[in-house]
């Protein structure tokens, strides 16, 4: 078993990108022959993931978040101006490149960017000028102020999961004294449902996997956490990694898996060393490896695979494709991963928080967990709260907490809207603030973004449509084309060129995309527009031109190039 | 009963859609009992009069295409985008991968055998748009008739539906090309 997985295609490409700042054609040929993969596959993978580049990027490669909570286009432009480059380009001297990137999960830290894979937060104008100076002086990152890179957990409210201490091995010891069926029953009675979004019963998933005929099975921890505004898995992996690993081991024992994987988003690469250290400690303590806790036949180990900047790889079947060194295109389901997953073998994919909760349930019993929450949503939910409030950070609440209570706790005032569950979730206005966080009411994977009345909500919605257009994997036409049409539509409306006709088009495109797309990304991509039109129709109407139709582009301007080439400026040369 | 008035035009297209329309063969005789053509390359009438249905083939490539399209929109109750070029830009939009300058230089300056190389600038010629666009980006389009070209049966079906006062709709066989 190769624990390091240093020869995983993604890891080889990462290593090459870090060293040479791009992936050359020759590098792709070399990597392909080293891994005995088709060259086309290596090329496709290089193209697919946004952290790899076929053109040289700067020795300081800056990825500036464009999230509504941890990004800021104006500050990014300021940095570009100071360094004399355009966003998306590499400076001719090869020192620096700046590109925007989807949410990097630093929403509780103010405006943030990744610099050579390290998150740098709390960026303001002042810091921009300091960054620019350090880059110009080509000071290595280790010589930059260390506090710029220190990540705080910002834990604001704890409950079951975060307030109960967890000792490595404690859940496995409880399990040692139970039959496997007893442990599974405990999870079943707890009514634990997946925390990654869909809310599928965890016991049911594990049971399906366990009941398959195959010999080899896998458990995968989904640490892709790509939904903008979500950073609760970051906290769990920072401070509760043992609980998460223990959850994986519990699952492995139940489904009889010998190998587990953590699929870690590239934005969290800075956690890699500490995670590896925790894994090593567990191996040393006999909590990973052969005959765990002396239990005959309980052999299990965990390897970490680092993604490369693709939101779609949070979707479980795309994640599995990515683990298999391919582009992250979602598979056709069924068969579901529990039947045919990683390498075609039965595979459980669970969110980080689900696995941590499972470990807690095994240790403390199902009552500990069932006691909290609502009838259909047992237990607690860890929320990542960001946006316009005094205390952004991590809040663990029992399910059933109302939006009003949350807004009070985090010191949000004059709240115009809340985006629950990230762009793929629900955008609500004040009339919904008496609703609660629960699978049966407002479901969320953890993202909770607050917008007060100073925000231009249309720009927020526009930002989300750009996110989906960028992250669409391109596999199916309704989503690939539709997300771009919705993006263009929102651009037009926001720029003041939209008409009632454009809103009609947006509505019908939104309906088509959500109905016809292949996976959850496309199905949910129209949500911001649909919720916006439903809950904030007046915001759209105020921005419209009162005429039947306005062209999508400036007709006269589109003749300019031809006017120049022909040196004409007569009446017929204008529109 | 007065006849339904139909106008047709080819903007940046290859006339393949018009040829396909004529492929309805003898069925056109029956159709002509109910429709009459205003502006169309079929009868060589150059300007549009108020009419019921406008069938537009081809993409927007130049200023003249824009004028013609707008004239149709102003005069027609219903505009139908016919064929891949009108709907998506189609074949002419393949030039969108290049700049207009590259296209013109390739055609009029650099191509082998070009006599008197210069980029034409006669005022009679409509200027090219910097990019090719589908027609719905400039006017409201009521219906889309896909295909390259759409089969004659599809023309018959859509026109018959409209003549019968129904929402035009194409069965799956007519939308399935592989
Ligand atoms: C576009 C898309 C992105 C997703 N991203 C994540 C993610 O980042 N983390 C996660 O746990 N689940 C994500 N999911 C859900 C997973 O597909 C899967 O349902 C989940 O990991 C199952 O774990 P759970 O049952 O513990 O929730 C995503 C789904 C879609 C459609
Ligand atoms: S819906 Fe979007 S993300 Fe999902 S498979 Fe289709 S193109 Fe890819
Ligand atoms: S759609 Fe096809 S047949 Fe019709 S004008 Fe375009 S290229 Fe010609």
The total number of structural domains in chain A stands at: 5
Label residue A263 left, alpha or beta by phi (over 0 means left) and psi (-120 to 50 means alpha): beta
> What is d(CA A249, CA A238) in angstroms, rounded to the nearest whole number?
18
Q: Which atom of ligand 1 is nearest to the CA of A223?
A: 9
CATH of the domain at A414: 3.10.20.600
Which portions of chain B are predicted below pLDDT 50? none
Whether A560 is in a domain gets the answer no
pLDDT tens, chain A, 575 aa long:
344 577 999 999 999 999 999 999 999 999 999 999 999 999 999 999 999 999 999 999 999 999 999 999 999 999 999 999 999 999 999 999 999 999 999 999 999 999 999 999 999 999 999 999 999 999 999 999 999 999 999 999 999 999 999 999 999 999 999 999 999 999 999 999 999 988 999 999 999 999 999 999 999 999 999 999 999 999 999 999 999 999 999 999 999 999 999 999 999 999 999 999 999 999 999 999 999 999 999 999 999 999 999 999 999 999 999 999 999 999 999 999 999 999 999 999 999 999 999 999 999 999 999 999 999 999 999 999 999 999 999 999 999 999 999 999 999 999 999 999 999 999 999 999 999 999 999 999 999 999 999 999 999 999 999 999 999 999 999 999 999 999 999 999 999 999 999 999 999 999 999 999 999 999 999 999 999 999 999 999 999 998 888 999 999 999 999 999 999 999 999 99
Nearest-angstrom CA–CA distance, A124 and A78: 10
Nearest-CB residue to A568 (from B66, B121, B129): B121
Residue A485, Cβ density class (10 Å: 0-12 exposed, 13-18 middle, ≥19 buried): middle
Q: Give a yes or no: residue B102 inside a domain.
A: no
Site from B59, B62, B63 to mutate, A interface, most A CB atoms within 10 angstroms: B63
Q: How would you classify residue A414: left for phi > 0, otherwise alpha for psi between -120 and 50, otherwise beta? A: left
Mutation to test the B interface, candidates A492, A505, A551, most B Cβ within 10 Å: A551
**The two structure tokens encoding residue A398:** 């029992």
Of A94, A98, A114, give the one whose Cα is nearest residue A106.
Answer: A114
Write phi, then psi, for A352 (nearest 5 degrees).
-55, -50
User: Domain range for residue A315?
Assistant: 155-370
| Closest by CA position to A199, among listed A479, A446, A521, A372 | A446
CA distance B73 to chain A (A): 11
Which residue lies with its CA nearest to atom 6 of ligand 3? B85
Is A348 a domain residue? Answer: yes
* Residue B106 included in any domain: no
Residue with tokens 């979730």: A425
Ligand number nearest to the C-alpha of A483:
2
Nearest to A117 by CA among A87, A88, A149, A85: A149
Rounded to 5 degrees, φ, ψ at A546 are -95, 70
- The answer for A 103-132 residues in CB contact with B (under 8 A) is none
Residues A269 and A211 in one domain: yes
pLDDT computed for residue B1 by the predictor: 63
Tell me: do A466 and A322 sit in the same domain: no
Nearest residue, CB atoms, B130 vs list A552, A558, A566: A558
Q: How far is the CA of B6 from the centre of ligand 3 (A)?
A: 20
* CATH code at position A79: 3.40.30.10
The span from the CA of A380 to the CA of A384, in Å, is 13
Contacts of B100 in chain A (CB under 8 A): 561-562, 565
A556 CB within 8 Å of a chain B CB = no
| A334 prior amide bond cis, ω within 30 | yes
State in Å: Cα A110 to ligand 2 middle. Answer: 30
- A126 Cβ partners below 8 Å, 6+ apart? none
The minimum-distance atom of ligand 3 relative to the CA of B20 is: 3
CATH at B80: 3.40.50.700
CA–CA separation, A381 and A396 (whole Å): 6
Q: Are A484 and A470 contained in the same domain?
A: yes
Answer yes or no: pTM beyond 0.90: yes
Residues of A in contact with B93 (CB under 8 A): none
Ligand closest in space to the Cα of A328: 2
How many A from CA of A69 to the centre of ligand 1?
Answer: 21
The answer to whether position A547 is within a domain reads no
**CA angle in degrees (0–180, nearest 5) for A455-A521-A18:** 85
Across B4-33, b (16+ Cβ under 10 Å) vs e yields bbbbbbbbbbbebbbebbeebeeebeebee
Tell me which residue range forms the domain holding B84: 4-97+131-175
User: How far B105 CA lies from chain A's nearest CA (Å)?
Assistant: 10
Residues of B with Cβ-Cβ distance to A572 under 8 angstroms: 63, 123, 126-127
* B119 located within any domain: no
Pairwise CB contact (< 8 Å): A565 & B138 = no
Buried b (16+ CB within 10 A) or exposed e, B154-164: bbbbbbeebee
Residues in chain A: 575
Q: Alpha-carbon distance A266 to A277, whole Å?
A: 18
What is the enclosing helix (H) or strand (E) of A450? strand A447-452
Q: Report the number of distinct structural domains present in chain B.
A: 1
User: Hey, what are A9's tokens?
Assistant: 């295609």
Tell me if B151 sits within 8 A of B22, measured CB to CB. Answer: no
Is residue B151 within 6 Å of ligand 3 at its C-beta?
Answer: no
Per-residue pLDDT reduced to its tens digit, B42-60: 888 888 889 999 999 999 9
Same domain flag for A36 and A127:
no
Taking CA atoms only, the protein residue closest to ligand 2 atom 4 is A519
Report the residue from A551, A565, A572 with minimal CB separation from B63. Answer: A572
CB of residue A424 inside a 6 A radius of ligand 2: no
Question: How far is residue A136's CA from residue B110's CA, in Å, rounded to a whole number?
Answer: 44
Atom of ligand 3 nearest to the CA of B87: 1
Q: By CA distance, what is A569's nearest residue in B?
A: B123
Q: How many beta carbons lie within 10 A of that of residue A81, not counting itself?
A: 12
Q: Are residues A395 and A256 in the same domain?
A: no
- Nearest one of B87, B78, B80, B23 to B58, comparing CA atoms: B87
Q: Considering the domain boundaries, does residue A558 fall inside one?
A: no
Question: Do A141 and A245 sit in the same domain of this protein?
Answer: no
Q: Distance (Å, rounded) from C-alpha A548 to C-alpha B142?
A: 13
Judgement on whether residues A389 and A349 belong to the same structural domain of the protein: no
Q: How far is the CA of A445 from the centre of ligand 2 (A)?
A: 19
Query: A573 — contact with chain B (CB < 8 Å)?
Result: yes
Return the H-helix or E-strand segment holding A545.
Answer: none
Contact between A568 and B139 using a beta-carbon 8 Å cutoff: no
Encode A498-509: b = buried (16+ Cβ within 10 Å), e = exposed: bbebbbebbeeb
CA distance B99 to chain A (A): 9
User: B78-116 burial by CB neighbour count: b if 16+ within 10 A, else e?
Assistant: bbbbbbbbbbbbbbbbebeeeebeeebbeeeeeeeeeee
| Residues A276, A303: Cα–Cα separation, whole Å | 9
Q: How far is the CA of B133 from the centre of ligand 3 (A)?
A: 14
- From the number of C-beta atoms within 10 Å of its C-beta (0-12, 13-18, 19+), residue A192 rates as buried
Domain boundary among A453, A478, A497: A453
| Structural element, H or E, at residue A238 | helix A232-239
A520 lines ligand 2 (CB under 6 A): no
Same domain, A278 and A295: yes
Task: Inspect the interface and report whether the beta carbons of B127 and A559 lie closer than 8 Å.
Answer: yes
Q: What is the pLDDT of residue A547?
A: 83
Check CB contact under 8 Å for B63 and A575. yes
Q: Which of A450, A389, A458, A388 is nearest to A418 (CA)?
A: A450
Q: Are residues A25 and A134 in the same domain?
A: no
Across the interface, do A552 and B133 touch by the CB < 8 Å criterion? yes
Does A316 lie in the same domain as A183?
A: yes
Asked if residue A482 belongs to a domain, the reply is yes
Q: Is residue B26 part of a domain?
A: yes
Same domain, A187 and A287: yes
What counts of helices (H) and strands (E) characterise chain A? Answer: 23, 14
Closest residue by CA, ligand 1 atom 2: A315
Q: What is the Å distance from ligand 2's center to A523 Cα?
A: 9
Which of A542, A571, A232 minimizes the C-alpha distance to A380? A232
Q: Are residues A196 and A327 in the same domain?
A: yes
Dist CA B79 CA B168 (whole Å) = 12
- Least Cα distance to A378 among A200, A192, A196 occurs for A192
Nearest ligand 1 atom to the CA of A330 is 31
Does any domain span residue B109? no
């Amino acid at each position: 078993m190769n624990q390091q997985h240093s020869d995983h295609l993604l890891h080889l490409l990462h290593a090459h990108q870090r060293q040479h700042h791009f992936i050359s054609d020759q590098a792709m040929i070399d990597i392909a022959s080293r891994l005995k993969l088709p060259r086309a596959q290596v090329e496709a993978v290089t193209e697919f993931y946004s952290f790899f580049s076929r053109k040289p990027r700067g020795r300081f490669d800056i990825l500036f978040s464009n999230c509504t909570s941890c990004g800021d286009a104006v500050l990014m432009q300021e940095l570009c101006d100071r360094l004399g480059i355009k966003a998306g380009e590499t400076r001719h001297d090869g020192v620096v490149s700046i590109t925007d990137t989807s949410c990097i999960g630093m929403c509780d830290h103010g405006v943030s960017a990744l610099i050579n894979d390290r998150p740098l937060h709390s960026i303001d104008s002042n810091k921009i000028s300091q960054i620019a100076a350090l880059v110009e002086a080509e000071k290595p990152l280790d010589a930059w102020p260390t506090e710029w890179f220190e990540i705080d957990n910002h834990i604001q409210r704890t409950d079951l999961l975060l307030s109960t201490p967890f000792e490595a091995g404690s859940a496995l010891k409880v399990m040692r004294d139970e039959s496997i069926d007893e442990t599974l029953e405990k999870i079943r009675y707890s009514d634990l449902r997946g925390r990654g979004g869909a809310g599928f019963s965890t016991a049911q998933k594990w049971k399906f996997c366990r009941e398959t005929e195959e010999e080899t099975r896998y458990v995968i921890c989904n640490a892709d956490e790509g939904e903008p505004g979500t950073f609760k898995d970051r906290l769990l992996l920072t401070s509760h990694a043992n609980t998460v690993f223990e959850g994986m081991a519990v699952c492995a024992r139940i489904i009889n898996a010998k190998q587990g994987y953590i699929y870690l988003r590239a934005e969290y690469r800075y956690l890699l060393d500490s995670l590896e250290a925790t894994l090593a400690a567990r191996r040393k303590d006999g909590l990973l490896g052969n005959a765990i806790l002396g239990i005959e036949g309980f052999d299990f180990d965990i390897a970490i695979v680092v993604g490369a900047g693709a939101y779609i790889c949070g979707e479980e079947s795309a994640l599995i494709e990515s683990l298999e060194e391919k582009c992250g295109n979602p598979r056709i389901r069924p068969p579901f991963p529990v039947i045919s997953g990683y390498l075609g073998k039965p595979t459980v994919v669970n969110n980080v928080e689900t696995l941590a909760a499972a470990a807690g349930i095994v240790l403390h019993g199902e009552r500990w967990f069932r006691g909290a929450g609502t009838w259909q949503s047992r237990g607690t939910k860890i929320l990542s709260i960001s946006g316009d409030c005094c205390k952004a950070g991590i809040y663990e609440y029992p399910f059933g907490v109302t939006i009003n209570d949350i807004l009070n706790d985090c010191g949000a005032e004059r709240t115009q809207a809340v985006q629950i569950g990230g762009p793929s979730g629900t955008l609500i206005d004040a009339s919904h603030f008496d609703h609660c966080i629960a699978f049966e009411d407002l479901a969320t994977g953890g993202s909770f973004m607050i917008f007060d009345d100073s925000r231009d909500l249309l720009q927020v919605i526009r930002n989300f449509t750009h996110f989906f257009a960028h992250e669409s994997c391109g596999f199916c036409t309704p989503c690939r084309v539709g997300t771009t049409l919705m993006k263009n539509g929102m651009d037009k409306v926001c720029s003041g060129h939209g008409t009632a006709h454009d809103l009609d088009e947006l509505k019908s495109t939104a309906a088509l995309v959500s109905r016809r797309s292949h996976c959850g990304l496309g199905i949910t991509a129209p949500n911001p527009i649909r919720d916006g039109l439903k809950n904030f129709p007046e915001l759209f109407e105020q921005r419209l031109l009162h005429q039947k139709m306005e062209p999508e582009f400036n007709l006269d301007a589109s003749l300019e190039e031809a006017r120049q080439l022909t040196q004409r400026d007569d009446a017929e040369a204008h529109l | 009963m007065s006849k339904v008035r139909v106008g047709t035009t080819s903007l940046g297209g290859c006339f393949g859609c018009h040829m396909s329309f004529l492929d309805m063969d003898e069925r056109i005789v029956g159709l002509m009992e109910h429709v009459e053509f205003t502006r169309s390359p079929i009868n060589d009438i150059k300007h549009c009069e108020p009419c019921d249905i406008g069938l537009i083939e081809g993409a927007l490539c130049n200023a003249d295409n824009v004028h013609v399209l707008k004239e149709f929109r102003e005069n027609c109750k219903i505009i139908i985008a016919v064929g891949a070029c009108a709907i998506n830009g189609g074949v002419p939009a393949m030039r969108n991968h290049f700049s207009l300058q590259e296209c013109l230089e390739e055609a009029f300056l650099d191509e082998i055998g070009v006599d008197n190389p210069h980029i034409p600038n006669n005022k009679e010629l409509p200027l090219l748009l910097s990019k090719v666009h589908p027609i719905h980006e400039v006017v409201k389009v009521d219906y889309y008739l896909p295909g390259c070209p759409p089969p004659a049966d599809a023309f018959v079906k859509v026109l018959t539906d409209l003549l019968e006062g129904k929402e035009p709709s194409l069965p799956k066989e007519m939308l399935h090309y592989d």
